[in-house]
Amino acid sequence: MPAPQITQGVTHSGSLVSANVRPDIERVLQVLKPYQSPFLQILWFYNRPAKEVRNAYGRFSWFENEFFPHQAAVTAPIEAQGSPQKLLLNASNISAPDIFQLDDIILIEETDQMGFVSAKSPGQATISSIDGTGDLRTITEASGFIKVIGSRNSEYAGTRQAVTTKEVEQYNYLTIFSESIATTGRAQAGEHYTDGLTHDELVEKRIEEMKLQIERYLLFAPEQGYATAGNYRTTWGHGFMGRIKSNINNYSSTLTEDAFDEHLKEVFARGSNRRLHICGSNQLAAINRFVKSRYELNPQPAIKAYGIRLQEYLTPFGVVDLLWNPVMDGKFSDFGFTIDTDRVRLRYMAPDKKGSRKFRIEENVETPGIDGTTTKILFDVGLEIHNEECHGILRKV
Protein backbone atom coordinates (compact mmCIF):
# COMPACT_ATOMS: atom_id res chain seq x y z
CA MET A 1 0.00 0.00 0.00
CA PRO A 2 1.47 3.36 -1.01
CA ALA A 3 2.26 5.90 1.67
CA PRO A 4 -0.52 8.51 2.26
CA GLN A 5 -0.14 12.01 0.86
CA ILE A 6 0.06 14.52 3.67
CA THR A 7 -0.83 18.22 3.65
CA GLN A 8 1.24 20.32 6.05
CA GLY A 9 -0.54 23.26 7.66
CA VAL A 10 -3.52 24.99 6.13
CA THR A 11 -5.46 23.07 3.48
CA HIS A 12 -5.90 25.36 0.47
CA SER A 13 -7.18 25.09 -3.14
CA GLY A 14 -3.74 24.36 -4.49
CA SER A 15 -3.34 21.36 -2.22
CA LEU A 16 -6.58 19.68 -3.28
CA VAL A 17 -6.66 16.63 -5.57
CA SER A 18 -7.74 18.16 -8.91
CA ALA A 19 -9.65 15.07 -10.02
CA ASN A 20 -11.76 15.34 -6.86
CA VAL A 21 -12.71 18.99 -7.29
CA ARG A 22 -16.32 19.16 -8.46
CA PRO A 23 -16.70 21.57 -11.40
CA ASP A 24 -19.31 24.31 -11.18
CA ILE A 25 -21.19 23.82 -14.46
CA GLU A 26 -24.43 25.49 -15.47
CA ARG A 27 -27.08 22.80 -15.78
CA VAL A 28 -28.70 24.45 -18.81
CA LEU A 29 -26.94 23.86 -22.14
CA GLN A 30 -26.54 27.19 -23.96
CA VAL A 31 -27.30 26.25 -27.57
CA LEU A 32 -26.44 28.90 -30.14
CA LYS A 33 -29.62 29.37 -32.19
CA PRO A 34 -29.18 32.56 -34.20
CA TYR A 35 -31.62 31.84 -36.99
CA GLN A 36 -35.33 31.92 -37.57
CA SER A 37 -37.18 30.32 -40.50
CA PRO A 38 -39.95 32.82 -41.33
CA PHE A 39 -40.63 31.70 -44.92
CA LEU A 40 -41.19 28.07 -43.90
CA GLN A 41 -43.37 29.21 -41.00
CA ILE A 42 -45.53 31.22 -43.40
CA LEU A 43 -45.86 28.29 -45.80
CA TRP A 44 -46.62 25.85 -42.97
CA PHE A 45 -49.15 27.92 -41.03
CA TYR A 46 -50.46 30.53 -43.49
CA ASN A 47 -54.20 30.62 -44.18
CA ARG A 48 -53.62 29.15 -47.66
CA PRO A 49 -53.26 25.48 -46.72
CA ALA A 50 -50.49 23.26 -48.00
CA LYS A 51 -51.57 20.61 -50.48
CA GLU A 52 -50.51 16.99 -50.76
CA VAL A 53 -48.94 15.40 -53.85
CA ARG A 54 -49.99 11.92 -55.02
CA ASN A 55 -47.72 11.55 -58.03
CA ALA A 56 -45.28 8.69 -57.36
CA TYR A 57 -42.48 10.64 -59.06
CA GLY A 58 -42.92 13.55 -56.63
CA ARG A 59 -43.85 15.79 -59.55
CA PHE A 60 -46.66 18.31 -59.19
CA SER A 61 -47.96 20.79 -61.75
CA TRP A 62 -50.54 23.48 -62.34
CA PHE A 63 -51.85 25.45 -65.30
CA GLU A 64 -51.49 29.18 -65.77
CA ASN A 65 -53.15 31.54 -68.22
CA GLU A 66 -53.26 35.28 -68.78
CA PHE A 67 -55.34 37.89 -70.57
CA PHE A 68 -54.75 38.28 -74.28
CA PRO A 69 -51.69 40.57 -74.75
CA HIS A 70 -52.52 44.17 -75.56
CA GLN A 71 -49.08 45.41 -76.64
CA ALA A 72 -45.76 44.33 -78.14
CA ALA A 73 -42.35 45.88 -77.47
CA VAL A 74 -40.44 47.58 -80.31
CA THR A 75 -37.07 45.81 -80.56
CA ALA A 76 -35.58 47.64 -83.57
CA PRO A 77 -36.31 50.82 -85.57
CA ILE A 78 -39.16 50.36 -88.08
CA GLU A 79 -38.95 52.34 -91.31
CA ALA A 80 -42.19 53.50 -92.90
CA GLN A 81 -42.47 52.27 -96.51
CA GLY A 82 -44.68 52.66 -99.58
CA SER A 83 -47.22 55.28 -100.61
CA PRO A 84 -49.10 55.93 -98.44
CA GLN A 85 -46.40 54.95 -95.93
CA LYS A 86 -47.04 51.90 -93.78
CA LEU A 87 -45.21 49.92 -91.12
CA LEU A 88 -44.38 46.24 -91.53
CA LEU A 89 -44.16 44.42 -88.18
CA ASN A 90 -42.34 41.09 -87.90
CA ALA A 91 -40.11 39.17 -85.51
CA SER A 92 -37.08 41.30 -86.44
CA ASN A 93 -38.56 44.53 -85.06
CA ILE A 94 -41.37 43.64 -82.64
CA SER A 95 -41.48 41.23 -79.70
CA ALA A 96 -44.75 39.45 -80.53
CA PRO A 97 -46.09 40.11 -84.05
CA ASP A 98 -48.79 37.44 -83.79
CA ILE A 99 -50.79 39.30 -81.13
CA PHE A 100 -52.00 41.70 -83.85
CA GLN A 101 -55.19 40.71 -85.67
CA LEU A 102 -56.79 42.07 -88.84
CA ASP A 103 -58.54 45.41 -88.21
CA ASP A 104 -57.03 45.95 -84.75
CA ILE A 105 -56.75 49.65 -83.94
CA ILE A 106 -53.26 50.34 -82.67
CA LEU A 107 -51.40 53.21 -81.01
CA ILE A 108 -47.71 53.82 -81.70
CA GLU A 109 -46.21 55.16 -78.48
CA GLU A 110 -43.21 56.92 -80.05
CA THR A 111 -45.18 58.94 -82.58
CA ASP A 112 -48.63 59.03 -80.90
CA GLN A 113 -50.15 57.98 -84.24
CA MET A 114 -53.17 55.72 -84.58
CA GLY A 115 -53.33 53.03 -87.21
CA PHE A 116 -54.97 49.72 -87.93
CA VAL A 117 -53.87 46.29 -89.07
CA SER A 118 -54.62 46.35 -92.79
CA ALA A 119 -53.00 43.01 -93.63
CA LYS A 120 -52.09 39.98 -91.54
CA SER A 121 -50.17 36.77 -92.17
CA PRO A 122 -48.37 34.38 -89.81
CA GLY A 123 -45.45 36.16 -88.16
CA GLN A 124 -46.14 39.62 -89.60
CA ALA A 125 -48.68 42.43 -89.71
CA THR A 126 -49.02 45.56 -91.89
CA ILE A 127 -50.04 48.77 -90.13
CA SER A 128 -51.75 51.56 -92.10
CA SER A 129 -52.95 54.96 -90.92
CA ILE A 130 -56.36 54.87 -89.25
CA ASP A 131 -58.16 56.14 -92.37
CA GLY A 132 -56.00 54.08 -94.74
CA THR A 133 -54.82 57.10 -96.78
CA GLY A 134 -52.36 58.95 -94.52
CA ASP A 135 -48.68 58.34 -93.94
CA LEU A 136 -47.27 56.71 -90.81
CA ARG A 137 -43.95 58.01 -89.52
CA THR A 138 -40.82 55.91 -89.07
CA ILE A 139 -40.19 54.53 -85.57
CA THR A 140 -36.61 55.57 -84.86
CA GLU A 141 -35.94 54.01 -81.46
CA ALA A 142 -35.80 50.39 -80.34
CA SER A 143 -37.94 51.15 -77.31
CA GLY A 144 -41.55 51.66 -76.30
CA PHE A 145 -44.61 49.69 -77.34
CA ILE A 146 -47.21 49.36 -80.04
CA LYS A 147 -50.56 48.94 -78.28
CA VAL A 148 -53.87 47.45 -79.37
CA ILE A 149 -56.56 49.87 -78.20
CA GLY A 150 -59.64 48.73 -80.14
CA SER A 151 -60.93 47.27 -83.39
CA ARG A 152 -61.95 48.95 -86.66
CA ASN A 153 -65.45 47.69 -87.45
CA SER A 154 -67.76 48.97 -90.17
CA GLU A 155 -71.52 49.04 -90.01
CA TYR A 156 -73.11 45.64 -90.41
CA ALA A 157 -69.73 44.04 -89.91
CA GLY A 158 -69.49 40.30 -89.46
CA THR A 159 -67.74 38.39 -86.67
CA ARG A 160 -64.05 38.97 -86.07
CA GLN A 161 -61.74 35.99 -85.97
CA ALA A 162 -61.84 34.34 -82.54
CA VAL A 163 -58.53 34.40 -80.66
CA THR A 164 -57.56 33.50 -77.11
CA THR A 165 -54.49 32.53 -75.13
CA LYS A 166 -53.66 28.93 -74.29
CA GLU A 167 -53.03 27.67 -70.81
CA VAL A 168 -49.45 26.67 -69.96
CA GLU A 169 -48.46 23.86 -67.59
CA GLN A 170 -45.90 24.71 -64.91
CA TYR A 171 -44.35 22.10 -62.63
CA ASN A 172 -41.93 21.42 -59.82
CA TYR A 173 -40.65 18.45 -57.80
CA LEU A 174 -40.69 17.53 -54.15
CA THR A 175 -37.38 17.19 -52.34
CA ILE A 176 -36.81 14.56 -49.66
CA PHE A 177 -35.04 15.89 -46.57
CA SER A 178 -33.90 13.06 -44.29
CA GLU A 179 -31.59 13.06 -41.26
CA SER A 180 -31.09 10.82 -38.22
CA ILE A 181 -29.82 10.77 -34.64
CA ALA A 182 -28.16 7.64 -33.20
CA THR A 183 -27.01 7.06 -29.63
CA THR A 184 -25.68 3.96 -27.89
CA GLY A 185 -27.32 2.39 -24.89
CA ARG A 186 -24.52 3.53 -22.56
CA ALA A 187 -24.73 7.10 -23.86
CA GLN A 188 -28.43 7.02 -23.02
CA ALA A 189 -27.86 5.53 -19.57
CA GLY A 190 -25.08 7.90 -18.60
CA GLU A 191 -25.57 11.29 -17.01
CA HIS A 192 -24.30 14.65 -18.30
CA TYR A 193 -23.46 17.89 -16.60
CA THR A 194 -25.98 19.80 -18.72
CA ASP A 195 -29.35 19.20 -20.28
CA GLY A 196 -29.82 18.99 -24.08
CA LEU A 197 -27.74 15.81 -24.55
CA THR A 198 -30.33 13.08 -24.20
CA HIS A 199 -31.43 11.21 -27.31
CA ASP A 200 -34.79 12.99 -27.47
CA GLU A 201 -33.20 16.40 -26.99
CA LEU A 202 -30.72 15.73 -29.80
CA VAL A 203 -33.62 14.76 -32.08
CA GLU A 204 -35.37 18.04 -31.23
CA LYS A 205 -32.20 19.97 -32.06
CA ARG A 206 -31.84 18.12 -35.39
CA ILE A 207 -35.41 19.01 -36.36
CA GLU A 208 -34.62 22.70 -35.82
CA GLU A 209 -31.50 22.36 -37.96
CA MET A 210 -33.51 20.72 -40.73
CA LYS A 211 -36.07 23.54 -40.67
CA LEU A 212 -33.27 25.99 -41.34
CA GLN A 213 -31.95 23.81 -44.16
CA ILE A 214 -35.39 23.65 -45.79
CA GLU A 215 -35.76 27.44 -45.38
CA ARG A 216 -32.55 27.96 -47.34
CA TYR A 217 -33.59 25.45 -49.97
CA LEU A 218 -37.04 26.92 -50.62
CA LEU A 219 -35.52 30.36 -51.09
CA PHE A 220 -32.22 29.71 -52.88
CA ALA A 221 -32.46 26.46 -54.92
CA PRO A 222 -31.97 27.52 -58.57
CA GLU A 223 -32.78 24.26 -60.40
CA GLN A 224 -35.29 21.41 -60.62
CA GLY A 225 -34.96 17.88 -61.97
CA TYR A 226 -34.46 14.21 -61.23
CA ALA A 227 -31.89 11.46 -61.55
CA THR A 228 -32.24 7.68 -61.54
CA ALA A 229 -29.69 5.28 -60.07
CA GLY A 230 -30.66 1.68 -60.57
CA ASN A 231 -34.32 1.36 -59.63
CA TYR A 232 -34.48 4.43 -57.47
CA ARG A 233 -35.21 8.04 -58.32
CA THR A 234 -33.96 11.23 -56.71
CA THR A 235 -35.88 14.46 -57.29
CA TRP A 236 -35.09 18.04 -56.46
CA GLY A 237 -37.39 21.01 -56.87
CA HIS A 238 -36.44 24.61 -57.46
CA GLY A 239 -36.97 27.30 -54.86
CA PHE A 240 -37.87 30.95 -55.23
CA MET A 241 -34.60 31.77 -57.03
CA GLY A 242 -35.22 29.12 -59.65
CA ARG A 243 -38.84 30.04 -60.39
CA ILE A 244 -38.71 33.84 -60.65
CA LYS A 245 -37.61 35.14 -64.06
CA SER A 246 -39.47 38.47 -64.22
CA ASN A 247 -39.01 41.59 -62.09
CA ILE A 248 -35.37 40.85 -61.20
CA ASN A 249 -33.86 44.24 -60.39
CA ASN A 250 -30.28 45.09 -59.43
CA TYR A 251 -28.59 47.89 -57.53
CA SER A 252 -24.86 48.45 -57.45
CA SER A 253 -23.80 49.93 -54.11
CA THR A 254 -26.40 51.13 -51.61
CA LEU A 255 -30.10 50.59 -52.03
CA THR A 256 -31.93 53.90 -52.45
CA GLU A 257 -35.56 54.78 -51.95
CA ASP A 258 -35.97 55.45 -55.68
CA ALA A 259 -34.53 52.03 -56.61
CA PHE A 260 -36.80 50.31 -54.08
CA ASP A 261 -39.87 52.13 -55.37
CA GLU A 262 -39.04 51.32 -59.00
CA HIS A 263 -38.76 47.64 -58.09
CA LEU A 264 -42.10 47.68 -56.29
CA LYS A 265 -43.75 49.48 -59.20
CA GLU A 266 -42.85 46.58 -61.48
CA VAL A 267 -43.92 43.89 -59.01
CA PHE A 268 -47.30 45.50 -58.27
CA ALA A 269 -48.18 45.72 -61.98
CA ARG A 270 -49.85 42.30 -61.63
CA GLY A 271 -51.51 40.43 -58.81
CA SER A 272 -52.83 41.66 -55.48
CA ASN A 273 -52.16 45.01 -53.82
CA ARG A 274 -50.14 43.52 -50.95
CA ARG A 275 -46.69 41.92 -50.96
CA LEU A 276 -44.29 40.37 -48.47
CA HIS A 277 -40.70 41.53 -48.87
CA ILE A 278 -38.33 39.08 -47.17
CA CYS A 279 -34.81 40.48 -47.12
CA GLY A 280 -31.35 40.09 -45.64
CA SER A 281 -29.87 42.26 -42.92
CA ASN A 282 -27.91 44.64 -45.19
CA GLN A 283 -30.90 45.38 -47.39
CA LEU A 284 -33.22 45.89 -44.44
CA ALA A 285 -30.66 48.24 -42.86
CA ALA A 286 -30.55 50.25 -46.11
CA ILE A 287 -34.35 50.53 -46.16
CA ASN A 288 -34.28 51.62 -42.52
CA ARG A 289 -31.71 54.32 -43.30
CA PHE A 290 -33.65 56.03 -46.06
CA VAL A 291 -36.87 55.80 -44.05
CA LYS A 292 -35.19 57.36 -40.99
CA SER A 293 -33.85 60.17 -43.16
CA ARG A 294 -37.44 61.24 -43.86
CA TYR A 295 -38.16 61.89 -40.19
CA GLU A 296 -37.01 64.83 -38.09
CA LEU A 297 -36.46 63.90 -34.45
CA ASN A 298 -36.76 66.56 -31.77
CA PRO A 299 -35.06 64.97 -28.77
CA GLN A 300 -36.10 65.94 -25.26
CA PRO A 301 -33.43 66.59 -22.60
CA ALA A 302 -33.65 62.89 -21.72
CA ILE A 303 -34.36 60.42 -24.52
CA LYS A 304 -35.13 56.77 -23.84
CA ALA A 305 -35.72 55.41 -27.34
CA TYR A 306 -34.51 56.33 -30.80
CA GLY A 307 -35.13 54.89 -34.27
CA ILE A 308 -37.83 53.61 -36.59
CA ARG A 309 -39.62 50.27 -36.28
CA LEU A 310 -40.98 49.82 -39.79
CA GLN A 311 -43.25 46.87 -40.54
CA GLU A 312 -45.30 48.22 -43.46
CA TYR A 313 -43.99 50.21 -46.40
CA LEU A 314 -46.76 52.12 -48.17
CA THR A 315 -46.51 52.87 -51.88
CA PRO A 316 -49.00 54.26 -54.41
CA PHE A 317 -49.10 50.77 -55.90
CA GLY A 318 -49.76 48.71 -52.77
CA VAL A 319 -48.66 47.81 -49.25
CA VAL A 320 -45.42 45.95 -48.53
CA ASP A 321 -44.85 43.95 -45.33
CA LEU A 322 -41.15 43.98 -44.49
CA LEU A 323 -39.65 40.88 -42.87
CA TRP A 324 -36.03 40.23 -41.94
CA ASN A 325 -34.80 36.70 -42.64
CA PRO A 326 -31.54 35.91 -40.78
CA VAL A 327 -31.06 32.82 -42.96
CA MET A 328 -30.25 35.22 -45.80
CA ASP A 329 -26.57 35.67 -45.04
CA GLY A 330 -23.47 35.95 -47.23
CA LYS A 331 -24.33 37.59 -50.53
CA PHE A 332 -28.02 37.10 -49.77
CA SER A 333 -27.82 39.67 -46.97
CA ASP A 334 -28.14 42.18 -49.86
CA PHE A 335 -31.09 40.35 -51.44
CA GLY A 336 -34.82 40.78 -51.08
CA PHE A 337 -37.59 38.48 -52.29
CA THR A 338 -40.90 40.23 -52.97
CA ILE A 339 -43.65 37.64 -52.69
CA ASP A 340 -47.37 37.67 -53.41
CA THR A 341 -48.31 35.27 -50.63
CA ASP A 342 -51.68 34.53 -52.26
CA ARG A 343 -49.71 32.76 -55.00
CA VAL A 344 -47.33 30.53 -53.06
CA ARG A 345 -48.09 27.22 -51.43
CA LEU A 346 -46.25 24.39 -49.72
CA ARG A 347 -46.66 20.97 -51.37
CA TYR A 348 -45.93 17.68 -49.64
CA MET A 349 -46.05 13.99 -50.45
CA ALA A 350 -49.17 12.06 -49.48
CA PRO A 351 -48.91 9.68 -46.50
CA ASP A 352 -47.38 6.23 -46.92
CA LYS A 353 -47.77 3.07 -44.80
CA LYS A 354 -45.67 4.60 -42.03
CA GLY A 355 -47.69 7.81 -41.86
CA SER A 356 -47.18 11.44 -42.82
CA ARG A 357 -44.46 12.36 -45.30
CA LYS A 358 -44.98 16.08 -44.81
CA PHE A 359 -43.09 15.63 -41.54
CA ARG A 360 -42.53 12.61 -39.37
CA ILE A 361 -40.23 11.17 -36.73
CA GLU A 362 -39.50 7.46 -37.10
CA GLU A 363 -38.22 5.92 -33.90
CA ASN A 364 -36.26 2.67 -33.46
CA VAL A 365 -35.08 2.36 -37.08
CA GLU A 366 -31.79 0.79 -35.92
CA THR A 367 -30.89 -2.77 -36.88
CA PRO A 368 -32.58 -5.20 -34.46
CA GLY A 369 -30.19 -6.28 -31.74
CA ILE A 370 -28.03 -3.17 -31.93
CA ASP A 371 -27.18 -1.78 -28.48
CA GLY A 372 -28.57 1.69 -29.13
CA THR A 373 -31.32 3.75 -30.71
CA THR A 374 -31.61 5.46 -34.11
CA THR A 375 -34.33 7.98 -34.91
CA LYS A 376 -35.04 9.18 -38.46
CA ILE A 377 -36.54 12.57 -39.32
CA LEU A 378 -38.24 13.02 -42.69
CA PHE A 379 -39.67 15.95 -44.67
CA ASP A 380 -40.87 15.40 -48.27
CA VAL A 381 -41.84 18.88 -49.44
CA GLY A 382 -41.70 21.34 -52.33
CA LEU A 383 -42.68 24.88 -53.30
CA GLU A 384 -45.48 25.87 -55.67
CA ILE A 385 -45.34 29.44 -57.01
CA HIS A 386 -48.14 30.64 -59.27
CA ASN A 387 -47.78 33.46 -61.82
CA GLU A 388 -44.12 34.26 -61.33
CA GLU A 389 -44.68 37.71 -62.85
CA CYS A 390 -46.42 38.70 -59.59
CA HIS A 391 -43.19 38.24 -57.59
CA GLY A 392 -39.75 39.77 -57.79
CA ILE A 393 -36.14 39.75 -56.67
CA LEU A 394 -34.17 42.86 -55.62
CA ARG A 395 -30.45 42.25 -55.34
CA LYS A 396 -27.09 43.93 -55.06
CA VAL A 397 -24.61 43.06 -57.83
In tens, the pLDDT along 188-223 reads: 999 887 888 899 999 999 999 999 999 999 999 999
Q: Which residues of 45-67 are buried (b: 16+ CB within 10 A; e: fewer)?
A: eeeeeeeebeeeebbbebeeeee
Can you give the pLDDT at residue 310?
62
Q: At what angle do helices 281-292 and 257-267 cross, to 10 degrees?
A: 110
Can you give the pLDDT at residue 309?
59
Neighbours of 148 (CB within 10 A): 18
> Do the beta carbons of residue 233 and residue 226 sit within 8 Å?
yes
Cα within 13 Å of Cα(200), Cβ side:
2
User: How far does CA 217 lie from the centroid of its chain?
Assistant: 10
Beta bridge mates, 74: 94
Can you give the pLDDT at residue 373?
95
Segments of the chain scoring below 50 in pLDDT: 306
Rg of the chain in Å (alpha carbons) = 32
Report the C-alpha gap between 136 and 83 in whole angstroms: 10
User: How far does CA 143 lie from the centroid of its chain?
Assistant: 30
Beta bridge mates, 226: 235
> Do the beta carbons of residue 360 and residue 323 sit within 8 Å?
no
> Do the beta carbons of residue 348 and residue 358 sit within 8 Å?
yes
Q: At what angle do helices 38-45 and 199-220 cross, to 10 degrees?
A: 90
Q: Using alpha carbons only, what angle is made at residue 106 by residues 103 and 111, rounded to the nearest 5 degrees?
A: 145
Can you give the pLDDT at residue 32?
53
User: Could you tell me whether strands 71-73 and 113-121 are parallel, antiparallel, or unpaired per DSSP bridges?
Assistant: unpaired
Can you give the pLDDT at residue 164?
93
Can you give the pLDDT at residue 8?
74
Can you give the pLDDT at residue 378?
96
Query: How much helix, strand and coil, in percent to the nearest 5, is found in the chain?
Result: 20, 30, 45
Its sign, for the CA torsion 348, 349, 351, 357, is negative
Can you give the pLDDT at residue 383?
96
